[in-house]
Structure 1
C-alpha cells in the first residue's frame, strides 16, 4: 500500500486494500474516519489510515496470520476495528465481524464454526468473553484488544499497539511484505463472512467476494449520486451487512467520511454534531425517534402542541409532494415554508437530519405512517430491499418515485422474478458465494444459474415497483380465507409510541390475536404525567390504565385495517400485554431485533392457547437472562381483552396475482 504503486482509477481496483492504496495516493490529506473520544472528534486521513492498516497487517503476519485465515472482529464501531478488517484482507484473510452484544455461547459458535485463530476485540467486556471461549474452543489462539482500560494485568493477550509495533519491526526487515500480499488479491477472493440473523435456527456464515461488494457499493452510489466527502455516522452493528456496505465498502469505493460515535448513549448527540449527508436507520431506530418526539410534544405547552399538530398535518399532505417535485399550490408552499422555520427545521436539527441528502431504511418492513413522517419533514427517506446474500442492494426507490407501500425498483444489473408461490427471487453481481461449510443450505437458497430465494412473498405492481407482503413462511390465511400478513399488522401497531413490539397470530385460526410489548419510556412518561405509580416494567404492563391505552391504539389499527379490502377481515380481536420485554438474550429476537416468531409461539404456547380458548386471564413462568448474564425466572399473570371488529369489515378479497 505504498504510494508509488498506487496509481490508477477506482474502477481498476478490485479489492479494498487496493482501493485504500489509491485513496492514500490521490487524496492523502482528505478525511477518511472520525472518532469521538472524550468529547472531542479526532480525524484520520487516508494516508494515516493506510499506514495504520499496513503496520497492523505486518503485525498479524508476524503472529502467523496467513492467506485464507479468518479474523474475528467484535466491538462497537471503532476506526481501529474497521482497519483490522482491511489489515486481514491485505494478507488475503477473511474478517468475521460478530455482534458486540452476543452472549458467550453465540460468540463461541461463530469462533468455532469459522475456525478463527485470531480475534480483535474492542474492550475488556469482549476480551473476557473471548478468553472464556478460548478455554473450550482450542482453535482460538490469539486475542488482541484495542481499549486497554481494565486490561493492565491480563496475561496472554496483546494490545493493538503491540501488534502494530511488531509490524513496524517486520516491515523494517521486509518492506514489501504487505504490498506483495495486497497485489496477490483478486476480486473473486473471499472478502468477508457475515453471519445471518438466524430467525429460524443457527446463523449461517454468508461468504461475500470483493466483486460482490465493490459492485454493490458502486451501484448504490451511482443510483443516488453519492460523492466523495459525503458524511455518515456509523452506529449500527459492524456484523450487519448494511453497516459493512455503507461504512466500509462504500467508504473505500466512494471516499465517504466515516464517523464513529463515542458510545451508544451519545449517538443522538453525535448525530447532531456531525450532521451527516448520508443516513441509514432500520425501522426500529426510526420508531424510537418518533417516540421521543411524541413524548416531548406531550410534555409541551398547549400552544406549542397545537402548532406542532397543525403543521405536521400540513406536512403530511405537502412535504412528500415537494420532495418528489410535484405541483403544490402557492398557499401551501408558503405555509410549508413557515412550518420549516417554526417546526420542521428545528425538528430535523434535533434529529440530526438537517443536511441529509439521501436516507435509507431497511432490514424489515416499515410502517407507512413512520416512513411518511420523515418524508413529511423534507427528509429524502427511501426504502431499500436487500439481504446479506445480495450484498445488500436488490431494489431502491428512485427519486420522484417514492411510495410507502413499495420497496422500489431493481438496482442496475439486478433481475427480479416472482415464483408461482409468490416468493421473490433475484439475480445480480452481488449474489453471495456460499454459506460457509453448509453446501446444503447454499443449494437450497441459490440455484445453479444464480437465482436466490429470498423467502419473502411479494409482487411487482403496475409501476414496476416491488411490493413485499411478508416473509413467505409467515403469510397465511384465517379459517375464512382472509389474508393474514402478521408483519403488516405488527408494523401498524408499532407506529404508536406506546407499543415497542408486537407479535400477531392468526394463520389457521378464526381471528387475529396479538402479544404486545409496551415501550417502557413512552408509557412510563405517560403514567407519570397522570400520577400513576409503578415500580417495574411488569407492574406497569399490568395496569388497567395501560391496557385501556393500548386497547384504544389497537382499535385505531382495526379502523385502518377495515379500510383495506384485503385486510378488513384480519382485524385484531384479542390481545394481551406481555409481562416482560422480548429480548435477544432470551432467544426471542435476533441480534438485529427481528422477532423469532416460531420460537415465541412455542415459548409462550400457554398464552397463545389462552388467546384462542376464551380465557380472561393467563399465567406463565419463563426463563430470563439478566443484563449481568445471570439466569433466572419471571412469572406473570396477564389480562386478556377482547375487541369488537370495526364496522365495514367483510370477507377478504383475493390477493392480486403477482406479475
Structure 2
C-alpha cells in the first residue's frame, strides 16, 4: 500500500519528510547500488547518518543557507547523500551530467555561483580544474573516487569525499541539535534545486525549484508511479535531469520503494534483469534500445524460437504462443514485474508503443519540463495511436493563448525564462513552448513544439514532430531532424545508426573505406529514401518530407551535439553542419511507399 506524504502543514519541506521517513523506516533498504558486480544496500537509517555527516561538513566548510552545492557524477548513492545533506542545511542542490563538456561545466558553475562541487573521479575533476579560474565563487572541490594518479595529487581546493564525511562525522559526534535545527528552519518558499534545461533547442537555462514545488511532486508520486512500499525502481536517466532527480530523490519518500542505481552505463541491461523493477522512467530512445535488443537476439535464435516469437507478437496469435514466449521475453529484458513504464522528453513512435503493448508492458507518456518542476501530466494507460492525450496532476492550471500555446500556473512551476515564444506570459503563468488544446476534464492534447517553429525559415507553423518520431523508430537511424528550408517543401537530416548500417552493408557485400563513404553509397541512400517513403505513407500531405541529408558521422555521449539524455541539440547541429539544398537527396512525397 502506498505511503501518504501527509499534509503540507505536517511535513512542509522535503528534508523534514525525509527525516521522518528515515526515523520511521530505519533498517529498511532505501537504496541499492551495484559495485564490482555486487548489489550493496543503504538503509534509511544509514542514509540519514551519511547525509547528516555530509551536511554538517558543508556547514563546517563555511557554506551558508541559500548557497549552491554542485554535483558532477553518474547516478550513485553519494549524489543523493550530498543532495539531502545540502538541502537539510538550507543549501541549493545543482546537478551536472557526467557527459557535460568542461566548457558547459564551467558555464553552469559560474552562472549558478556554486561554492562547492562534488566530482565522481579524475576525469570529472580535470573538467573542473580546467575551468575553475572562470568560477570566482567556487571554493571547494570534493572527489568521490580517489585512486590511480589522484593518490598523490595535492591541491588546496581539493579534498576527498571520505575526508569530507569524516569531518562531518566528527562535527556531529557531540550529538548537538545543529542538523535538526537546520531542517526545522527550512521553509516551503526557499529554493531546493537548481535544474538546467536539456538544451535541445538552445543553450541550457537554469530553473529554480522551491520546496513547495517538490511538495506537489510528493503528493502526486503514488498516482504517477503506482509503486508500493518495498517495490523497486531503477535509476536510468542522469540525476541532473529533472525527471530523474524528482523520481529518485523525492518519490520514494511518498511510496517507500527501493531505488536501484546501476553500476555503469555498460551494465544497465544486466542490472535491469537483476533488479526487475515495478516502475521505470526512460526516454523513447532507451525503450527503442530494449526493443532492438530483443529483435537482434531473436534474429539469431533457432528457427522454431523465431516462429513462436513472431506468432506471439501477432494480434491473431494463439494464446499458447503468448503464454510460452512473452513471459520469457519480458524476463530476458528485465520487465517481467514492470507495472508501469513512463516515457519522457518526446513521444513514443506508435509502432514501438504497440510492440510493448503486445508484449504485455504498460507504457505511459509523461509530460513536463525543468520549468514545470518535473512531470505534471501523464497519459492514462497505454498511449493511443497519436500518443499525445494526457491527464494533468492535481493543482495544475492550464490555458491556451490565442496562438494555441499552452500556459501553466501552479506552485510547482519553477522560476525561469520563457522556454517558448518571446511573447511575455500573463502574470503568474508560464509559457510551456508547446502547442496544444485544453480539454474540459483537465486533460491536454499536445500538437507540437513552439520552439521547433522558431527554426522554420517561413515563420511559425505546425511542428513536423510526427515525421521525426516515425523515422527514429527505424533501427537504421539514431536521430532525425526535420526542418523547413522553404514554404512548400520539408527537408530532414538523418543520423545513421552506425552498427546497423554497417551490418546492412556487410550483409550485402558493399565496399566502403569509412563511415563517411558508406553514408554516400548509393545503396545506403536508397535505404534511407525507402525509410522516408514508408514514413511519408503514414503522414498527411502537408507533413511529408521532400528531401533529406545523411550526416556522414555518428555521435557518442561526449559529443556536444547531444544533450545528457542523448537528444540532438538542434542549434549546435545546424550551426556545425551546413545543409545546402543543392546537396539534398530528393523524395517523391506524392508517390509514397506503404509500410509493410
Flag whether TM exceeds 0.5 (same fold).
Answer: yes
Comparing 11-20 with 71-80, which one deviates more in the overlay? 11-20
Give distance in 2, aligned partners of 1:466 and 1:52.
Answer: 42
Rate the CA distance shift 1:545–1:468 in 2: closer, same or farther, 3 A. same
Rate the CA distance shift 1:454–1:445 in 2: closer, same or farther, 3 A. farther
Answer yes or no: is the 8 Å Cα contact 1:476–1:508 preserved in 2.
no
Answer yes or no: is the 8 Å Cα contact 2:70–2:96 preserved in 1.
yes
* Distance apart, 1:483 and its partner CA: 6.8
Rate the CA distance shift 1:408–1:269 in 2: closer, same or farther, 3 A. same
Query: Which structure is higher in RCO with an 8 Å CA cutoff and minimum separation 6?
Result: 2
Per the alignment, residue 61 of structure 1 pairs with 59
Where in structure 2 are the equivalents of 1:97-176 lying within 5 Å? 97-150=95-148, 151-156=150-155, 157-173=158-174, 175-176=176-177
Answer yes or no: is the 8 Å Cα contact 2:221–2:255 preserved in 1.
no
Where in structure 2 are the equivalents of 1:430-449 lying within 5 Å? 430-432=412-414, 434-435=415-416, 447=425, 449=427
RMSD over equivalenced CA pairs, Å: 2.9
Give distance in 1, aligned partners of 2:592 and 2:133.
Answer: 63
Answer yes or no: is the 8 Å Cα contact 1:134–1:141 preserved in 2.
no
Rate the CA distance shift 1:462–1:64 in 2: closer, same or farther, 3 A. closer
* Distance apart, 1:399 and its partner CA: 4.0
Match of 2:549 among 570, 576, 595: 576
Per the alignment, residue 513 of structure 1 pairs with 491
* Distance apart, 1:594 and its partner CA: 3.1
Give distance in 2, aligned partners of 1:528 and 1:517.
Answer: 19
Answer yes or no: is the 8 Å Cα contact 1:483–1:570 preserved in 2.
no
* Distance apart, 1:68 and its partner CA: 1.1
Give distance in 2, aligned partners of 1:452 and 1:387.
Answer: 11
Give distance in 2, aligned partners of 1:459 and 1:16.
Answer: 33
Answer yes or no: is the 8 Å Cα contact 1:418–1:459 preserved in 2.
yes
Answer yes or no: is the 8 Å Cα contact 2:350–2:387 preserved in 1.
yes
SS at match of 2:98: coil
Answer yes or no: is the 8 Å Cα contact 1:517–1:577 preserved in 2.
yes
Rate the CA distance shift 1:202–1:394 in 2: closer, same or farther, 3 A. same
Rate the CA distance shift 1:290–1:22 in 2: closer, same or farther, 3 A. same
Comparing 284-293 with 272-281, which one deviates more in the overlay? 284-293
Per the alignment, residue 375 of structure 1 pairs with 357
Rate the CA distance shift 1:387–1:65 in 2: closer, same or farther, 3 A. same
Answer yes or no: is the 8 Å Cα contact 1:601–1:608 preserved in 2.
no
Per the alignment, residue 370 of structure 2 pairs with 388
* Distance apart, 1:584 and its partner CA: 7.2
Indicate yes or no: 2:516 matched with 1:544. no
Answer yes or no: is the 8 Å Cα contact 1:469–1:488 preserved in 2.
no
Give distance in 2, aligned partners of 1:548 and 1:601.
Answer: 24
* Distance apart, 1:14 and its partner CA: 2.2
Per the alignment, residue 361 of structure 1 pairs with 343
Give distance in 2, aligned partners of 1:445 and 1:122.
Answer: 41
Answer yes or no: is the 8 Å Cα contact 1:230–1:257 preserved in 2.
yes
Give distance in 1, aligned partners of 2:203 and 2:327.
Answer: 45
Rate the CA distance shift 1:344–1:183 in 2: closer, same or farther, 3 A. same
Gaps of 5+ in 1: 1-7, 315-331, 562-566, 611-617, 619-639, 650-659
Rate the CA distance shift 1:202–1:70 in 2: closer, same or farther, 3 A. same
* Distance apart, 1:402 and its partner CA: 5.2
Per the alignment, residue 642 of structure 1 pairs with 586
Give distance in 2, aligned partners of 1:204 and 1:238.
Answer: 16
Give distance in 2, aligned partners of 1:453 and 1:88.
Answer: 31
Rate the CA distance shift 1:376–1:552 in 2: closer, same or farther, 3 A. same
Answer yes or no: is the 8 Å Cα contact 1:479–1:510 preserved in 2.
no
Give distance in 2, aligned partners of 1:176 and 1:146.
Answer: 27
Where in structure 2 are the equivalents of 1:168-567 lying within 5 Å? 168-173=169-174, 175-223=176-224, 225-314=226-315, 335=317, 337-399=319-381, 404-432=386-414, 434-435=415-416, 447=425, 449-460=427-438, 465-475=443-453, 484-506=462-484, 508-532=486-510, 534=512, 536-561=514-539, 567=540
Give distance in 2, aligned partners of 1:646 and 1:237.
Answer: 42
Give distance in 2, aligned partners of 1:531 and 1:547.
Answer: 16
Give distance in 1, aligned partners of 2:200 and 2:462.
Answer: 20
* Distance apart, 1:533 and its partner CA: 5.3
Per the alignment, residue 608 of structure 1 pairs with 580
Per the alignment, residue 28 of structure 1 pairs with 26
Comparing 497-506 with 452-461, which one deviates more in the overlay? 452-461
Give distance in 1, aligned partners of 2:230 and 2:457.
Answer: 55
Give distance in 2, aligned partners of 1:236 and 1:601.
Answer: 26
Match of 1:588 among 555, 561, 565: 561
Rate the CA distance shift 1:505–1:202 in 2: closer, same or farther, 3 A. closer
